[in-house]
Structure 1
Amino acid sequence: MREDHMKAVKEIIASVVKNNINLVAENWLDEFILATDQSAQLVKVFVMLPRKTGKLPVAITDDQQEALHAAGFGYIRNWTIDRLARVWLLAGFDLGDKELFFSTINRLFLSAEVNEAVALYSALPFLAHPEIWVKRCAEGIRSNIGSVLQAIMENNPYPSGNLDEAAWNQLVLKAFFTEKNISLIVGLDQRANLDLALTLIDYAKERWAAGRKVNPQLWRLVGKFINAEIFETLKTGLQHYDQIEQRAIALAISASGYQPAKDYINTFPELKLALADGSLNWNSF
């Protein structure tokens, strides 16, 4: 994201924060921002912040929401004020010295309780030196805490913009395992890849073998990579007579260049019609 664009987003967030806290809390935050020893004070301020701001849902004006939505950060409206204020605090924190900056923020990660961890991972798109947080993000994917995983996986542009393919694939697979909202993963379609598709197909086979359903969004990540081998698996899914799964597989095949799969779908009149009239899309599931 361009630096001037992110600066504008941070300014909107600052105005939202100030509209949601009282003057005492605002003055307290301003004192920290003007302090010469920010590095020494950050842990204390970060931990104490909810006591100053409260924990109510964020109130956002229509103009602010429109601007945030246009910038890709409209999801902030679902946060609480302490989470947003912590993110804003970290977004404006930059010591100039990259190593000192990393060690200071990393201390927060190492000692964070759940709500603090949620704010820290939510702040990843806004932190200075985005390249130094890749390992920390990848480590966060191994968490077993649902709200922490949501902060990393859902409505967060940092992973798709910074993780390597292996870590990205692990994020997506973990999202399926832990039943997160797959449609909220930023960059899902753009970062689809063959290794991920093959891994997800194996996962689908395991679900079928256990008599369990497969999240229809899984097939979204398979469509572009359909070949003869993958097609055999899709035929198995189409023969399960689960209408949702059939429709998802049909939609995946429509994104494929593999003609035998397209021809096969045409033998299912209902699926052929659904694809032809345009009523089928990934938001349908």
Structure 2
Amino acid sequence: MFSYPVKELSVIVSTIIKQHINDAAWNWLQEKVVQNLPVAQFNAVFAMIPRKTGKSPVELTDIQRTEVQRLYPGLSFEGWSVDRLSRVWLLMNRDSTAEDQYVAAIENLFLAADMNELVALYSALPLLDYPSRWKARCAEGIRSNIGDVLTAIMCDNPYPAACLDEPAWNQLVMKAFFTDKPVDRIYRLDQRANAELAKILSDYAHERWAAGRRMNPQLWRCVAKFIDEKNFADIQRIGSSSDLLEREAAALACNDSHYPPAKEWLSRHAELKTAIDNRTLSWSTIAAGRAVTG
């Protein structure tokens, strides 16, 4: 069973695609989507899509964005090309009645895919039927060294948060920091924070410090709820940094923490606390500031 209203979302996706391709391409794609093609033909169509649709970026209206979020919270098509969206739409509409055959057909696509095809396939994970069948495939993708593939898995993709177990989730988050991905776009990053991940990231911070290297201050976002006597010195360290973003991250981490010394630290930094209370300082502003400063 699909985990979302597939028919409703398919209508929205088809409308977006139709706005970005010519009539001949639309008629061809629509015809292929409604057919229950044999595996070999399905694979050929999947590969052929960019030659038919082109690769122009898709632009959604505000209404379309709202509808996508209503139907599938956390899903976003921002930054996608029309061929990527068309491939995902084809996958959304693949007949899934026979589970094993359905899974085998899509797994076969993964095995033979080029980079752009992999991006579409990993983007489609939250939209495929039988969500639990794709956990190993998602975990395999996290081990990839292809930047665009990692972005497709990590950013604006609700599948990992919904389906990955804790070790695989922690690997995803750690890989996102290690490869400098925009971690603010990891869906449910805060909700899936856990003590083991906090320890892993704290150890990583110490490695970066020892090497004299900087790190994404949003790392402390994942540590905040697990601040204790063992890692509070780390928060104090960034709280006295010459880097404003690090000081702001320390304040936000203390604000999110239940550890009394962290709360006391924040109370002694009234300007930062006021900014948090006034909502002029948040993890989103940290992400925006880092995007500007690099």
Fold similarity call, TM over 0.5 = yes
Which residue type is aligned with residue 19 of structure 2?
N
Contact 2:3/2:129 (<8 A) preserved: no
**Per the alignment, in what secondary structure is the counterpart of residue 145 of structure 2?**
coil
Q: CA deviation at 1:3?
A: 5.1
Q: What does 1:163-178 correspond to in 2, within 5 Å?
A: 163-178=164-179
Name the TM-score, length of structure 2 as normaliser: 0.90
1:7 partner SS: helix
Equivalent residue, structure 1, for 2:185: 184
Partner AA of 1:48 in structure 2: M
Task: Count the aligned residue pairs.
Answer: 285
**Stretch moving more, 31-40 or 100-109:** 31-40
**Mean Cα deviation higher: 257-266 or 154-163:** 257-266
Question: Is 2:14 aligned against 1:14?
Answer: yes
Separation of aligned partners in 1, 2:175 and 2:165: 15
Contact 2:75 2:158 in 1 (8 A): no
Aligned match of 1:101: 102
Corresponding position: 1:46 with 2:55: no
Which is further off, 238-247 or 138-147?
238-247
User: In 1, distance between residues paired with 2:31 and 2:156?
Assistant: 31
With 165-174 and 7-16 compared, the bigger mean Cα shift is at 7-16
SS at match of 1:228: coil
8 Å contact from structure 2 (residues 103, 133) kept in 1: yes
1:124-163 → structure 2 map (5 Å cutoff): 124-163=125-164
Whether the 8 Å contact between 2:76 and 2:157 is mirrored in structure 1 is no
Encode CA deviations 1:175-225: one digit per residue, 9 max, x unaligned. Answer: 000000010000101100000011001111111112222211111111111
Q: Is the 8 A contact 1:155 1:184 kept in 2?
A: yes
Provide the identity percentage.
Answer: 48
Q: Is the 8 A contact 1:32 1:38 kept in 2?
A: no
Residue aligning to 1:120:
121
* Aligned residues of 1:118 and 1:148 also touching (Cα < 8 A): yes
Unaligned 5+ segments in structure 2 are 287-294
Q: Which has the higher contact order (CA 8 A, sep 6+)?
A: 2
Q: Residue in 1 aligned with 2:57?
A: 57
Distance 1:264 1:173, change over 3 A: same
Deviations 1:140-168 (A, max 9, x none): 00111111100000000011000000000
Deviations 1:70-92 (CA, angstroms, capped at 9, x unpaired) = 44367314211100000000011
In structure 2, relative to structure 1, the CA distance for the partners of 1:232 and 1:77 (3 Å cut) is: closer
Most deviating of 263-272 and 203-212:
263-272
Q: Give the Cα–Cα distance (whole angstroms) in 1 for the partners of residues 96 and 3 of structure 2.
A: 17
Equivalence for 1:223? 224
How far apart in 2 are the matches of 1:57 and 1:70? 23
Single out whichever of 261-270 and 178-187 deviates more from structure 2: 261-270
- AA in 2 matched with 1:126: L
Does the 8 Å CA contact 2:53/2:82 hold for their aligned counterparts? yes
Distance 2:228 2:66 in 1: 42
Distance 1:263 1:65 in 2: 41
Tell me: CA distance 1:188–1:74, structure 2 relative to 1, closer, same or farther (3 Å). closer
> Which deviates more, 156-165 or 241-250?
241-250
- Identify which range, 21-30 or 268-277, moves more after superposition: 268-277
Deviations along 1:128-150, one digit per CA (max 9) or x if unpaired, are 11110110000000111111100
Deviates more, 1:256-265 or 1:197-206: 256-265
1:76 is paired with a residue whose SS is: coil
The answer as to whether partners of 2:156 and 2:187 remain within 8 angstroms in 1 is: yes
Larger mean Cα displacement after TM superposition, 210-219 or 231-240: 231-240
What is the TM-score with the length of structure 1 in the denominator?
Answer: 0.92
In 1: Cα distance, 2:16 partner to 2:33 partner: 17
The CA deviation at 1:10 is 1.8
C-alpha contact (below 8 Å) 1:152/1:159 kept by paired residues: yes
The equivalent residue for 1:66 is: 66
Q: Tell whether the 8 Å contact from 1:189 to 1:221 is kept in structure 2 after alignment.
A: yes
